[in-house]
Structure 1
Amino acid sequence: MEQTKSFYDIVSKYIIEVPIIQREYAQGRNTEKVKSIRKRFVTDLAKTIINNEEIHLGFVYGKIEGKENLKRKILNKEAVSSILEAVKFYAHNLEFKISANIEETEDEESNQNLLKFIPLDGQQRLTTLYLLYWYLYFKGAKSKNNDWLSHFKYSNRKSSLSFCKELVNAENIDSLRKKQKKNAEINIKELITNSSFFLKKWSKDSTVSGMLEMLLSIESAFDSDFDYSKINVKELPFTFDFMDLDSLNQTDDLYVKMNSRGKQLSDYEHFKSWLQEYHKETEDNVWMESFWKKLDTVWLNYFWRNIDSDFSALDDFFYNYIKNLALMYCLANNKEIPFEKLRESYNLIRNTEVYDNQKISYIPLEKYFIKWIDNENKENNYFLFNADSLKFIEQTFDSLIYLEQNDRIKEFELPNIVCNPFIENLLSDFFLKSNLFTPTLWHSVFYYSFIIFINDRNQNEFTVTGLQNWLRFTRNIIYNTYIQSPENFNSALKQINNIEHLKFQINDALLNNKVENVFFENSQFEEEKIKIVLINEEGWKEQIQLLENHSYLYGQINFVLEFAKDESGDYSLVDFIRYGSAVMNLYSKEIRQNAEKILERFLLCEDFYLPNYKSDYIFCSGSLGGLRTKNENWRMFFKGSKINALKEVIDKLEDNQITPQLLTNYISDYLESSNLKKSNWKYLFLKFPQAISYCKETAIRKESENDIRLLKGFPIFAYHSELRSYCLFLEFKDKSATKDNRISPAKFSPFTKFWYFKDKNTDGHPGVYFEGFSHNNRNYKLEIRYSKTKEEFELLFFHKEEIENRVADVSLENLSFVFDSNFKHYFKSVPFDKIENELDIICLELKTVSQ
């Protein structure tokens, strides 16, 4: 049963015993985070005493032991009393006078007969309050009965237990008072640690050290001339909601679970107490009391049921959600606050997406006040958890519980809208899962758009269809707009807030141009208008949703709509289904990420489809990636001038089932029938998919028909390869060759090494080389590069030394090589289709030389 009790009520009636399972006293730690919390908490406690105010410190719950012993004691006492009364009566009849009364002893042994309170939540606050009461008593506060001094024990460590015992010893207290009277400058910590009863080994006990730090903080919270004698410890106004869990008839499993929640120092508990203190003067006290009650019960229980972590993480998840709701509400609804003033709050609150309690930033509570100077040089102040913000938080928690009932997400028929590829979890599960502890910026904005609609579910205009329309629209504009920075997040939320008043009739508002867009992707707005009209026609809704939910298209399907236009400009559902089905298959993972680059080569059969990107062309990456990855790859093609190549090549498939094998056969047939020259860049890309794979970012630099570079990244000044020479390498490469051994095919003996080499910058000239031929203790190299201006290879043969040390003692002049006296190498140009024959001749000549 829950009761409101003062700390004195608890400590005088019970022996408070911190159990072994509890951690050390943490409010006395010396980390920056704890120091800040301690200073604020102690200041509030001292202020309450000085101003003679009341302060409520939340829930304290635990087990009460010794009830049976107390009942037995009371029964025994009553039995003894009855016996004494009978003896008195008998003696009186014999004219004897007996005087006998039952008196309870007040020694330590009798204390053991008191009820024992084992706190499972509230240990830290109870310890702090006990130290505060001890300090006030030590300084001269009134206390009619001092038994409470010995009613506090730490059982989790012997040194903590013995320290507490010595601290309350009457002789030790008197000794400490006398020493301080002699030296008023010495602080309480030094006073205790320098006393004769203090053992050095206690300094290694973190609980003892923490208690000493707390006493020091308590001492500093009062002025040196503060009159402690006017305080009566019994009347101090510190209250708790006190709960005996035994009265709930729960098993010990519950105690372990509830205790595990309190294993880490809870930022949330400090925040809640501070927030309650801040709002204690709120005009609407009835609403405020209801808010705190639901915060501690219904809403907390909802999180307890739904987080996918253990109980120790409950406060982290709960507090994180509250902070994020307040932040989103603030960003959406406040245009006057300069964002730079909100940036720090943003960074502190949104600091980890995946749950990790070691990465959660501690937020000094004063940071929730945002201050700025406006254009009129007036100082402004906004509190992140003001009454409006709390009401939004209340509405949102109530909405979560409403959605949980009767599985309303499915009842609202949202799975076709709130689904993969946009989100993997239920929308109502955001902020509840470890991998969605703080959802991405896109997810968070979409979540906000969902919540503001559900929060108004009691409005007459609320309909399930309206919800579906709103979510489909906001989903498409949110996930197809860059929201990758704090500024983007701020702008997106403000834009959602700007159109919130239209949410119940968003489709009509769009069609009537009532929706002003100042942030989201404009082209998506125009696409949504087209789809709104079509969705109202029979058969279109399901097909549009199916295509929108494709993992790569992600709600952006305008190019398929264009394919579906007939000659009169009207949209054909039959064509939309045909092209949409083909596009979904072509951009399935199986084809889009095929190692043989069949999608890229398939499209290349039709046209040079590669979009221009900066100074380069890109084949387009098949990776899903994020929005930027999509926008800088296939979406450039979808929106580009070459998009009809896709339509035309789909038409050529003639409704055949699109499979990797179909595309492979199509490419092979094209190579056989096209009569492309083997030197043609298109032929080479089609024949050698590895040339496309070489380009990690799918980029090539096409300076001319004869000068095509394969780029690892985008900058041309980085090392890269050249198309024809790299394909020559692929054609001749030995199957067992690796980057480490670089084995040359046997047919090119006496060379033993064969590999490609890279170069950089536009004037660089990458190629391939042969090595491993030696003559007269000199090693020779044959380099092969493709000409930048003609369809021919350039061959260079030389002794592998610096130019000034080269000796041309192997001549290839009889093979029509020309000796360049400047570079001391032999040079020859060979037509593209003659290179293999030329290499055979050179190898034969060198074998003759080596014999």
Structure 2
Amino acid sequence: MGATLQSFISIFNTNHEVDGEIVQLKNITIPLIQRDYAQGRQDSEVQRVRKRFLDSLHRAIVEKPITLDFIYGDVDGNGVMTPLDGQQRLTTLFLLHWYAAKREGIVTNEYSFLKKFSYETRYSARDFCGYLVDFTPSFEQKPSEEIINQSWFPLDWKKDPTISAMLVMSDAISEVFGGVQNIWERLNDNAISFYFLPVKDMGLTDELYIKMNSRGKPLTPFEHFKAEFEHNLKIIDKDVAKRIIKKIDLDWTDMLWRYRGDDNIIDDEFLRYYKFVCDVICYENGDSPQGKSSDEFDLMKQYFSKSNENAMKNIETFEKYFDCWCNLDEVESPESFFVSFLSHVHENDKIRIENRYAIDIMEDCLRNYGIFSGKNRQFPLNRIVLLYAMICYLLNRDKIDKHDFTRRIRIINNLIQNSEDEISDSELRSSGNRMPAILKQVDYIIMSGVIDDSIDKNFNINQLAEEKEKQKWLIYNQDKETLLFELEDHFLLEGQIGIVGLENFDYFQRFKSLFECDWDLIDCALMSIGNYSQREQNNWRYQLGSKRNLNAWRNLFHKSSNAGFSDTKRILADLLSRADVFTNDVLEKVIHDFISDCEKNNIFEWRYYYVKYDIFRPGSYGKYYWRDFTSNPYVMSVMKTNSQISQNSYNPFLKVADEKNLSKEDWGERIIFKDNYIVCTNSAFEIRKQITDEEISRIVINQNASGIDVEDRIIKLKKYLQSFA
């Protein structure tokens, strides 16, 4: 029987298999070898622990239910459960249930199960528990004061460390829960629960304690896991069990030892990598861990017990995934292995990964796998895919040439970096669970060096197509491989070079040179050549570059559902064609020539204003709002967020003319002018009454037959406003 979710109430009378018989759990007895109840001690550290624990229980009662850590215990043939770990929590729960029952006047038969909880440590502690259940305080004093004054309470009991600690805890519970109503009802609704795991077939309880820890300390969770794991493996194959447990104790511990934490043990690190392997097995079976338990015991039952027909295959995978790190060359460590293939900057024969990610993916996995920060994984899916790829190579190192692997891992890294939306294991996302297909594709690329077109819905379809094109191109352009890889590693491209294009090989180095210049000048130079914006799917939000935000450029340079990618590429190519090496002076000349031509010919399309007036380019997300770009290009808003119009948004024509009187309350689309306001339309500035919105005047902008300004509308508005100054 595996772990089951229980409450302090429900655990009594649960059924358990003991020596082939079904036995009801009737009593909980703290054994002689257990230490005294400690959560009621008075030292400062215990006080902090007690406060945190009671605060957690309080939140569970008044707000959101809580599930405590595992409680392990041995159930004998008489139905007596002896806790191996969890005595402290069980005793506190006993006292909380006693307090709730007595303070709320619960009928005796509802809390009579409390009589089934006792201590074997000393007769005094055992008797105290019994007397306590029968006693009902008035709660006019501290519970401890009333208890001590009872005739059944001998004074020497105050010297019993367990009893004195229970008295302290009863007072603390009364203080924390004194104003809380309906505690008993919430306890009955499982507001506080825990997982109970019976430990079977491991000998007598005292012998088990002494066997696992010569000082008689409780077993650690990892020791429980290892014992249960060995038990499961023995059922499947005793020789395999012996071999793997030996590796856990020796080879794998030695391998993981360099990664030990501050506690100087590798228990947590082992279990995190174990969970990674279990998730890989899950994906390889076409499934997803989403919505399933990540508890190591549940995973053991799911993948490594006799109930799974593929248990032996899963055990082999588990063993291989640990062994591969032990089979590195003598001079090689996991860290040096990753350093030989990964870098934070462009290097020959290495792939470039983002600075936010550690080079040693193994250490990252051991530290962070399965840990969440809010809804975000600290070891995200893209890292799982990359680690899986590296392990695929390690498992087949004798079959894959190192140079071939460097090319193959580059393809995979390019695919990972450009498949953010596709790398998903949740059916709730539009992409669905693609991890099984993605890992299958990774395996195929690592082993063969080519992309398998028969695998449905894996990485981003555009990037898959580009990688195949690059492979074909390199057959005839091997001498250009280094320059291609350098372009791929540019921090704005991250593996996708379609914005430059294989057909524009001469521009590979120029792109790097261009983006070493001032980004605001690049933005203006591109706009001087043409409208390089891209329209997003909502049809009103547009993406342009930014003087400070690299994601604005990445959005433009990575092909997506946005409309206008081909125009962006064409205009970028035009700019790249104008110099072999770019400087700010080169860009300033492009900009100057554009502005001069506009002013000379009296042609002031919206691009002119964008380039001339820096208020159009605040350096935020590069996002702009047009209600109807085709018909009304002059009616626009500069957005200060990535996705929404806000009070910080503004019409740039109005802001340039009179920033002081621009109204934030109206989304920056009005200049407040005496009792009136001014708005910008495509062919005029309208002056309207604030109260009635009635138009009282307009400043008409002269335009040609194409609807393009033939006079600078900003200068005209400024003159109008100055006339009232």
Deviation at 1:583, TM superposition (A): 1.8
Number of the residue aligned with 1:467: 405
Q: Does 1:427 align with 2:361?
A: yes
Does structure 1 retain, via aligned residues, the 8 Å contact 2:233–2:240? Answer: no
Question: Aligned residue pairs: how many?
Answer: 571
Secondary structure of the 1:286 match is: helix
Question: 1:665–1:432: structure 2 CA closer, same or farther, 3 Å change rule?
Answer: farther
CA distance in 1, matches of 2:695, 2:467: 68
Superposition pairs for residues 761-840 of structure 1, below 5 Å?
A: 766-770=669-673, 780-781=674-675, 783-788=677-682, 790=683, 792-795=684-687, 802-803=691-692, 823=694, 825=696, 829=700, 832-833=711-712
Number of the residue aligned with 1:604: 527
Does structure 2 retain, via aligned residues, the 8 Å contact 1:611–1:636? Answer: yes
Superposition pairs for residues 113-132 of structure 1, below 5 Å?
A: 125=84
Q: Which amino acid aligns with 1:724?
A: F
Number of the residue aligned with 2:75: 46
Q: Deviations along 1:493-513, whole A, 9 cap, x unmatched?
A: 312443466455523x44xx6
Question: 1:243–1:711: structure 2 CA closer, same or farther, 3 Å change rule?
Answer: same
CA distance in 2, matches of 1:841, 1:465: 70
Question: 1:524–1:603: structure 2 CA closer, same or farther, 3 Å change rule?
Answer: same
Number of the residue aligned with 1:662: 586
- Of 635, 643, 664, 1:708 maps to 635
CA distance in 2, matches of 1:604, 1:497: 42
Does structure 1 retain, via aligned residues, the 8 Å contact 2:701–2:713? Answer: yes
Deviation at 1:465, TM superposition (A): 3.0
Number of the residue aligned with 1:344: 291
Q: Does 1:690 align with 2:607?
A: no
- Of 373, 394, 409, 2:319 maps to 394
CA distance in 2, matches of 1:784, 1:527: 50
Q: Which amino acid aligns with 2:525?
A: F
Does structure 2 retain, via aligned residues, the 8 Å contact 1:461–1:504? Answer: no
CA distance in 1, matches of 2:126, 2:502: 92
Does structure 1 retain, via aligned residues, the 8 Å contact 2:556–2:568? Answer: no
So what's the TM-score if we normalise by structure 2?
Answer: 0.63
Does structure 2 retain, via aligned residues, the 8 Å contact 1:491–1:519? Answer: no
- Of 273, 278, 285, 1:326 maps to 278
Superposition pairs for residues 265-284 of structure 1, below 5 Å?
A: 267-283=221-237
Number of the residue aligned with 1:640: 566
Question: 1:604–1:397: structure 2 CA closer, same or farther, 3 Å change rule?
Answer: same
CA distance in 2, matches of 1:497, 1:420: 19
Number of the residue aligned with 2:208: 238
Deviation at 1:406, TM superposition (A): 2.2
Number of the residue aligned with 1:64: none
Secondary structure of the 1:618 match is: strand
CA distance in 2, matches of 1:494, 1:287: 28
Number of the residue aligned with 2:165: 202
Q: Deviations along 1:34-57, whole A, 9 cap, x unmatched?
A: 86722xx21xx225x789xxxxx9
CA distance in 2, matches of 1:587, 1:469: 26
Rg comparison, structure with higher value: 1
Deviation at 1:203, TM superposition (A): 0.8
Q: Which amino acid aligns with 1:726?
A: K
Deviation at 1:544, TM superposition (A): 2.0
Number of the residue aligned with 2:111: none
Deviation at 1:464, TM superposition (A): 1.7
Deviation at 1:128, TM superposition (A): 7.1
CA distance in 2, matches of 1:538, 1:756: 59
CA distance in 2, matches of 1:473, 1:555: 8
Q: Does 1:613 align with 2:536?
A: yes
Superposition pairs for residues 12-31 of structure 1, below 5 Å?
A: none
Q: Deviations along 1:314-360, whole A, 9 cap, x unmatched?
A: 4333322211221122122x13x5x5xx4222xx54xxxxxxxxxxx
Question: 1:484–1:690: structure 2 CA closer, same or farther, 3 Å change rule?
Answer: farther
Question: 1:396–1:538: structure 2 CA closer, same or farther, 3 Å change rule?
Answer: same
Number of the residue aligned with 1:479: 417
CA distance in 1, matches of 2:584, 2:265: 47
Q: Deviations along 1:481-525, whole A, 9 cap, x unmatched?
A: 222453479844312443466455523x44xx6753432222322
Q: Deviations along 1:240-274, whole A, 9 cap, x unmatched?
A: 656889xxxxxxxxxxxxx9xx9xx9544443333
Secondary structure of the 1:794 match is: strand
Greater alpha carbon shift after TM alignment, 461-470 vs 29-38: 29-38
Q: Does 1:539 align with 2:479?
A: yes
Question: 1:440–1:677: structure 2 CA closer, same or farther, 3 Å change rule?
Answer: farther
Q: Does 1:755 align with 2:662?
A: yes
Q: Which amino acid aligns with 2:593?
A: D
Deviation at 1:692, TM superposition (A): 2.9
Does structure 2 retain, via aligned residues, the 8 Å contact 1:621–1:633? Answer: no
Give the superposed CA RMSD: 5.5
Q: Which amino acid aligns with 1:584?
A: K
Q: Which amino acid aligns with 1:522?
A: I
Number of the residue aligned with 2:510: 582
Q: Deviations along 1:136-168, whole A, 9 cap, x unmatched?
A: xxxxxxxxxxxxxxxxxxxxxxxxxxx99x944
Deviation at 1:236, TM superposition (A): 7.2
Number of the residue aligned with 1:650: 576
Q: Deviations along 1:635-692, whole A, 9 cap, x unmatched?
A: 9589424422211211112x1x323453234312332245353742111011013213
Does structure 2 retain, via aligned residues, the 8 Å contact 1:473–1:528? Answer: yes
Deviation at 1:479, TM superposition (A): 2.5
Secondary structure of the 1:710 match is: strand
Secondary structure of the 2:566 match is: coil
Q: Deviations along 1:14-36, whole A, 9 cap, x unmatched?
A: x99x9x9998999x999798867
So what's the TM-score if we normalise by structure 1?
Answer: 0.55
Q: Does 1:451 align with 2:373?
A: no
Question: 1:685–1:639: structure 2 CA closer, same or farther, 3 Å change rule?
Answer: closer
Does structure 1 retain, via aligned residues, the 8 Å contact 2:534–2:564? Answer: no
- Of 251, 257, 263, 1:311 maps to 263
Q: Name structure 2 gaps, 5 residues minimum.
A: 1-30, 58-64, 91-117, 135-147, 173-192, 344-348, 372-377, 703-710
Number of the residue aligned with 2:101: none
Question: 1:22–1:462: structure 2 CA closer, same or farther, 3 Å change rule?
Answer: farther
Question: 1:390–1:204: structure 2 CA closer, same or farther, 3 Å change rule?
Answer: farther
CA distance in 2, matches of 1:652, 1:175: 94
CA distance in 2, matches of 1:621, 1:645: 13
Question: 1:206–1:447: structure 2 CA closer, same or farther, 3 Å change rule?
Answer: farther
Question: 1:717–1:838: structure 2 CA closer, same or farther, 3 Å change rule?
Answer: closer
Secondary structure of the 1:344 match is: coil
Secondary structure of the 2:229 match is: helix
CA distance in 1, matches of 2:531, 2:712: 24
Question: 1:22–1:452: structure 2 CA closer, same or farther, 3 Å change rule?
Answer: farther
Q: Which amino acid aligns with 1:725?
A: L
Q: Deviations along 1:558-601, whole A, 9 cap, x unmatched?
A: 3433433xxxxxxxxxxx2x31112233345x64xx4xx32222
Greater alpha carbon shift after TM alignment, 624-633 vs 404-413: 624-633
Number of the residue aligned with 2:488: 548
Does structure 2 retain, via aligned residues, the 8 Å contact 1:794–1:830? Answer: no
CA distance in 1, matches of 2:129, 2:328: 62
CA distance in 2, matches of 1:421, 1:599: 24
Deviation at 1:451, TM superposition (A): 1.3
Percent of counterpart pairs with the same letter? 14
Q: Deviations along 1:428-478, whole A, 9 cap, x unmatched?
A: 333134699641111111211221331233xx5233234323322222222
Question: 1:646–1:176: structure 2 CA closer, same or farther, 3 Å change rule?
Answer: closer
CA distance in 1, matches of 2:458, 2:425: 13
Question: 1:688–1:294: structure 2 CA closer, same or farther, 3 Å change rule?
Answer: same
Q: Does 1:409 align with 2:362?
A: no
Q: Does 1:495 align with 2:437?
A: yes
Number of the residue aligned with 2:70: 37
Deviation at 1:384, TM superposition (A): 12
